[in-house]
Amino acid sequence: MKSRRSFISQVLATGITPVFVPAHVLRSQTAPSNKITLGVIGAGAQGTGDMRAFLNHDDVRVTAVCDVNTKNIERSRGLIQERYGSADVKTFRDFRELNRDKSIDAVLMALPVHWHSIPATDAILNGKHIYHEKPMGMSMSESKHVRAAVRKKGVVFQFGTQQRSDMKFRWACELARNGRLGKIKEIQVGVPGGKTGPDFPEQSVPEHVDWESWVGPAPMTSFNMEKLRRDNHENITNFSLGMISCWGIHHLDIAQWGNGTDETGPVRIEGEGTYPEKGGCDAVLGWKMRFEYAGAAPITFVNQDSAGIGHGTRFIGENGWVHVLRGKISASDEGILRDPANRAGTMPVKLIESPEHTRNFVDAIKNMQRTICDIETAVRSDTLCQLAAMVLKAKRKLVWDPNTESFTNDEAANALMNARPFRGEWKLPEIV
């Protein structure tokens, strides 16, 4: 007879996991107190915002914080003191120590992009449920490696694409999926482009920053305080793929949801981009991409306000369009939105409803369910960002097989999926 762990690993590997997995199948890690204990790996701007959300949940207790910047740790301790009346929290500078702590049920991983895959895989292999900030990582191979770890261990995974927990985005996708716009002819996605920046001259490393650890597996570069800012390091290719990935994942994920392609992907990708001519920010500035699908609408993906495409996701059908971005939904005919038959949750195709993204993660752990943006969905959506980046490197159209997740008869393109060499001791934890 197959073991329960073997069974769930096989179910997850199919990519068609049911929305509900019985609690007797997956191992629950909920603390005896019925509070989920959470460790925070990365307490910068994004990690702090996410941690604040988790602190709002009475059935969660933040018990550990890890960061190589002691000022980030102290800020986190202050927020924990404010919430719990005590700053009694474990602190770490090495994520591996936090991940080995058996008293911790789940982790929030909110590090710079170059640090996503290694700590995430390590946490998962230590049996931690994980709220994994986007994007998946620097390469397709890293993304697949994290997925393989989740499938192996059967933990709960939530991707930080929080727009799926926003009613307006769900509503737009339901309108598209239910034919309320007619057959979808095209989906347009616009996100902020990259930025230029100064040269970031070398500075002395302050005592509160462990720069060697912050750089970690990335190529070593000189310290400058400005590199710690998210809007800078996300536009430096040592640490990120740029806005084509960091911002792109949000609205491309919605395009996938509304296109009904969560379990597949495009078959052809083409595009071009522009880059800064000088300065410390060297990631792609602007781009225009086209993703073609075998059985779904094509997606045009640009840096916003180019090619006449603004910020957000627009589903364009034969009978009209709907455009959604954070805080706003509009349509070619406002009657589409006023029609009682078109209200969110009332049409035949009903998408999963999640009122809040961290709450969805917590409930998934407690009930041993899939999250609204689980590992299978996360990798498929993130693949679009990776494909766009690889098209820019290849400088030509690429043909993709979404079933094998590889390029068709194209060794040079397939090599682009590999992770770059990791620096020093760092490597992806082995999955055994």
Which distant-in-sequence residues (6+ apart) come within 8 Å of 395 by Cβ?
272
Residue 71 forms part of a structural domain: yes
pLDDT tens per residue, range 368-424: 999 999 999 999 999 999 999 999 999 999 999 999 999 999 999 999 999 999 999
**pLDDT of 69:** 98
> For the chain, what is the domain count?
1
| pLDDT band (50, 70, 90) for residue 14 | very low
Tell me whether residue 251 is in a domain.
Answer: no
User: pTM, whole model, 2 decimals?
Assistant: 0.92
The answer to whether residue 91 sits within a structural domain is yes
Q: What is the pLDDT of residue 109?
A: 98
* Average pLDDT, integer, range 322-341: 98
Q: What is the dihedral of CA 91, 93, 97, 103, to 10 degrees?
A: 20
* pLDDT of 358 above 50: yes
Give the mean model confidence (pLDDT) for residues 191-214: 97
Confidence grade of residue 39 (pLDDT, cut at 50, 70, 90): very high
Distances in Å between the Cα of 130 and the Cα atoms of 32, 82, 104, 154 are 19, 25, 11, 11
Q: Could you list the residue range(s) of the whole structural domain that residue 66 is in?
A: 4-163
Does the pLDDT at position 25 exceed 90? no
User: Which residue in 221, 164, 163, 233 sits closest to 197, CA to CA?
Assistant: 233
- How far apart (Å, rounded) are the C-alpha atoms in residues 237 and 317? 37
SS (H, E, C) the chain: CCCHHHHHHHHHHCCCCCCECCCCCCCCCCCCCCCEEEEEECCCHHHHHHHHHHHCCCCEEEEEEECCEHHHHHHHHHHHHHHHCCCCCEEECCHHHHHHCCCCCEEEECCCHHHCHHHHHHHHHCCCEEEECCCCCCCHHHHHHHHHHHHHHCCCEEECCHHHHCHHHHHHHHHHHCCECECEEEEEEEECCCCCCCCCCCCCCCCCECHHHHHCCCCCCCCCHHHHCHHHHCCCCCCCCCHHHHCHHHHHHHHHHHHCCCCCCCCEEEEEEECCCCCCCCCCCEEEEEEECCCCCCEEEEECCECCECCEEEEEECCEEEEEECCEEEECCCHHHHCHHHCCCCCCCCCCCCCCHHHHHHHHHHHCECCCCCHHHHHHHHHHHHHHHHHHHHCCCEEEECCCCEECCCHHHHHCCCCCCCCCCCCCCCCC
- 320-325, strands of its sheet edge to edge: 328-331, 320-325, 312-317, 184-191, 299-303, 286-292, 268-274, 398-401, 406-407
Residue 360 in this model has a pLDDT that exceeds 90: yes
- Which of 247 and 28 is assigned the larger pLDDT? 247
Q: Does residue 50 belong to any structural domain of this protein?
A: yes
* Res 61 pLDDT > 60: yes
Tell me the average pLDDT across 155-181: 98
Is 93 domain-assigned?
yes
Q: Could you give the C-alpha distances from 246 to 30, 78, 199, 287, 384, in angstroms and in order?
A: 32, 28, 22, 14, 12
pLDDT tier for residue 34 given thresholds of 50, 70 and 90: confident
Indicate whether 179 belongs to any domain.
no
For 80-96, how does the pLDDT look when each residue is reduced to its tens digit (9 = 90+)? 999 999 999 999 999 99
Express each pLDDT in 252-311 by its tens digit. 999 999 999 999 999 999 999 999 999 999 999 999 999 999 999 999 999 999 999 999
373 in any annotated domain: no
Whether 149 maps to a domain, the answer reads: yes
Kindly indicate the confidence band of residue 16, based on its pLDDT and cuts at 50, 70 and 90.
Answer: very low
Return the CATH number at 96. Answer: 3.40.50.720
Average of per-residue pLDDT across 150-171 = 98
Instruction: Quote the Cα angle for 91-95-99, to 5°.
Output: 95
pLDDT > 50? residue 28: no
More confident residue, 306 or 13: 306
Bigger pLDDT: 19 vs 311: 311
